Amino acid sequence: MNDIGEFTLLVALATALYGCVAYVMSARGNRIDLYLSADKTPFIVWACVMISSICLLRAFLTDDFSLQYVWAYSNRELDTFYKVASFWGGQKGSLLFWTLLLTTYMLVVYFQNRSKNLRVVPYAMAVMLVVVVFFLFLINFSTNPFERIPLPPEDGRGLNPLLQNYWMVIHPPTLYLGYVGFTVPFAFAVAALISKDLDDGWIRMTRKWTLISWFFLCMGNLFGASWAYVELGWGGYWAWDPVENAAFMPLLIATAFLHSVMIQEKKDMMKVWNMSLILLTFAMTIFGTFITRSGLIQSVHTFDEATLGYYFLAFLFVIIVACVALIIARLPLLKSANELDSFLSRESSFLFNNLVLLGIAFATFWGTIFPIISEAVRGVKITVGPPFYNQVNVPIGLALLALIGIGPVIAWRRATFSNLKKNFLRPVLAGLVMAVALFPVIPLGNRAEIYTYVTFVLCAFVLTSILTEFYKGTVSRMGLKDESVVGALTTMTWRNKRRYGGYIVHIGVVLIFAGIAGSQAYGTHTEKHLKTGDSFEIRGYTITYEKLIAIEATSVKTRIIAQLAVERDGKRYWTGHPEKEFYKGQNQPVSEVDVLSTWKEDLYMILADFGEDESATIKVYVNPMVSWMWTGGWVIAFGTMISMWPDRLEQRRRLDRVRKQEQLFPSPAQE
């Protein structure tokens, strides 16, 4: 089976190479025979990569330690659940997994579009195949997951204990689905540039792909935060690690793109800008993989054998140079009649939104690469950690939050003073009421607390501005159609999925902002060394250390669990079980925290240490409003689903638009 896996990877590479050449030649020479031949390659490449992946998965499930990769990331005692996850636990398997996702996306694109726009699609398929070729080249000649060990050992080394968490099965695939997904809009953008088909067709063809990729990247970031929160045991969820930054930057740029394409769709403007944004988003996804796999920047996420940096750097260089050259070559075609009715318009607010999003992305990028710059300029290696990002990104983030509130209430094309006054009245009043109500009750002793106060005020402003939009739409529909509140709200949202889905996403973002602000400024923690029966208090909770439990979970894993009774107002409220897990052959034990999560706050418990006399060192954090962030994530998921849902009305409107255009510019056949 391993030979089959290795062989199919070579076949996939050869087929992908042929596909690239054949697609380009068929499009350039109008060769239908070549096109029909090339059109078979996406399926063949996908099938080969799928067979190879099945072979590797089989090796994991059957404990085939003759493969170096299986030996390095699995052992006989590992749960089947984690044996599956080990597939992407190391560099070799993760690259194969990446390629599997990429070829699967490519296959779906192929089935969706093979009978559509024959000017653009062949080039788009060729671009995707170029990316596939790059990854297959790495897998075949640099990081082969089917590399053998001449004398297979009895057992494997096992998966890193930190990765033995259910998030390991969810977070990396989600993030990869986001990263890989941006290849599709990128491919169509490049195809549009090559084929000179530069209207908004490529945007419409890839809108759903952009949204899906954005959604997965967003969820991937949130799942990563959630994993860090429950697994790393330091009470936080985001450490501004370079690899976290690498996943955050494309998300920001893609968000800017999602907003600015609306202007292109509505007004046929900003073509160069949108093209640049999607190319930059893709470049950032490659930059992210470069960081993870180069070992150039120190990160807790870097793969053990991070040796592929130069390949990714070269690929990144080629992409950037080729894309910039293409954009410059097509500049005359990309020029549009850029004109705005007024400075005060939603279009302007979208431009500022783009500026702020890119500002945060740039600050994050700058912080990530500054250690390299410092070493190159001064010869001194420095660290750029959370204090830098918090000080630089928080004020810019607040400006972004304000813009989320301004966007919906400012009119498209031209906003008048009376229109502004009318639309801003309620949100501004809500912000003021929040400011007055919070001022006497929350502390404002340091900058973090002041930022948090401003965040809460802005959240009230933004939430009111969004809810006012829902309210106005519902009321006017109730008046026109004689519908109930729920009926009017549902129909209105369903008939304008894109607009109201977007507003729901914004509500999710507000919840995330509020959650971050609350947990950053008002949290508290304590650490106590306790003997059995000892108690201590923190923020109204009385915590009693009851006992220490030792469990031999498997032959390689021992669990030491502290039982902690939590009382509130004299009544037993909850029992916490933070634990430490010891794995055979690992120097450091792994902390498994226990969290009591409510909307108000999280009671977060860690077993920091324990003694032979059954004493224990317990760390307890009270983190306010953390669950607001996770709720915000689900709200974003809900809003994105509404936005992505197929819209017959929109399709009908588009058809009408096309018919009108055809009447204006009849085709020769009609004439």
Partner 1 sequence: MRTFKIKLLTGLFVLVWVLAGQAPVAGAGALLSDLENQLMCKCDDKCGKVLINCTCSTSDKTRAKFSKMLESGLTVDQIVKMQVDEYGETVLSAPTKFGFNLTAWMTPFVALVAGGFGVRKVLRAWVGKRDGIDTAETPAAEPEISKKYSKRLKDELDGIEL
Q: Given the rule CB under 8 A, which residues bind partner 1? A: 28-30, 195-196, 232-234, 236, 239, 241, 269, 298-300, 332-333, 337-343, 348, 351-352, 355-356, 358-359, 362-363, 366-367, 370, 374, 377-378, 380-388, 391-392, 395-396, 445-448, 526, 587-588, 591, 606, 608-609
- Residue 125 CB, shortest distance to partner 1, in Å, is 19
Between 140 and 307, name the residue whose CB sits nearer to partner 1.
Answer: 307
CA dist., res. 362 & res. 260, Å (int): 18
CA dist., res. 357 & res. 509, Å (int): 14
- Check if the beta carbon of residue 220 is closer than 8 Å to that of residue 325: no
Residues in Cβ contact with 29 at an 8 Å cutoff, skipping those fewer than 6 apart: none
Between 169 and 232, name the residue whose CB sits nearer to partner 1.
Answer: 232
Between 109 and 358, name the residue whose CB sits nearer to partner 1.
Answer: 358
CA dist., res. 645 & res. 344, Å (int): 32
- Residue 333 CB, shortest distance to partner 1, in Å, is 6
Q: Which residues are paired to 568 by β-bridges?
A: 571
Task: Report the first-to-last Cα separation within the chain, whole angstroms.
Answer: 61
- Residue 373 CB, shortest distance to partner 1, in Å, is 8
Between 447 and 481, name the residue whose CB sits nearer to partner 1.
Answer: 447
The CB density around residue 549, as the number of other CB atoms within 10 Å, is: 12
CA dist., res. 641 & res. 17, Å (int): 36
Between 52 and 195, name the residue whose CB sits nearer to partner 1.
Answer: 195
- Residue 62 CB, shortest distance to partner 1, in Å, is 33
- Residue 395 CB, shortest distance to partner 1, in Å, is 5
Between 362 and 638, name the residue whose CB sits nearer to partner 1.
Answer: 362
SS3 of 160-175: the string is CHHHCCCHHHHHHHHH
- Check if the beta carbon of residue 602 is closer than 8 Å to that of residue 631: no
Between 100 and 517, name the residue whose CB sits nearer to partner 1.
Answer: 517
- Residue 605 CB, shortest distance to partner 1, in Å, is 13
Residues in Cβ contact with 197 at an 8 Å cutoff, skipping those fewer than 6 apart: 117, 119, 120, 191
Between 79 and 341, name the residue whose CB sits nearer to partner 1.
Answer: 341
CA dist., res. 408 & res. 396, Å (int): 20
CA dist., res. 610 & res. 579, Å (int): 10
Q: Token match 């973090």: residue?
A: 448
Residues in Cβ contact with 194 at an 8 Å cutoff, skipping those fewer than 6 apart: 123, 326
- Residue 527 CB, shortest distance to partner 1, in Å, is 9
- Residue 384 CB, shortest distance to partner 1, in Å, is 6
- Check if the beta carbon of residue 226 is closer than 8 Å to that of residue 196: no
Between 155 and 375, name the residue whose CB sits nearer to partner 1.
Answer: 375
By CB atoms closer than 10 A (0-12, 13-18, 19+), residue 309 is middle
Element (H, E) at 431: helix 417-438
Between 555 and 587, name the residue whose CB sits nearer to partner 1.
Answer: 587
DSSP 67: B
- Residue 604 CB, shortest distance to partner 1, in Å, is 13
90 alpha carbon, distance to own chain's centre: 20
- Check if the beta carbon of residue 152 is closer than 8 Å to that of residue 211: no
- Residue 522 CB, shortest distance to partner 1, in Å, is 14
- Residue 298 CB, shortest distance to partner 1, in Å, is 5
SS3 percent helix, strand, coil of the chain, rounded to 5, is 65, 10, 25
CA dist., res. 609 & res. 123, Å (int): 59
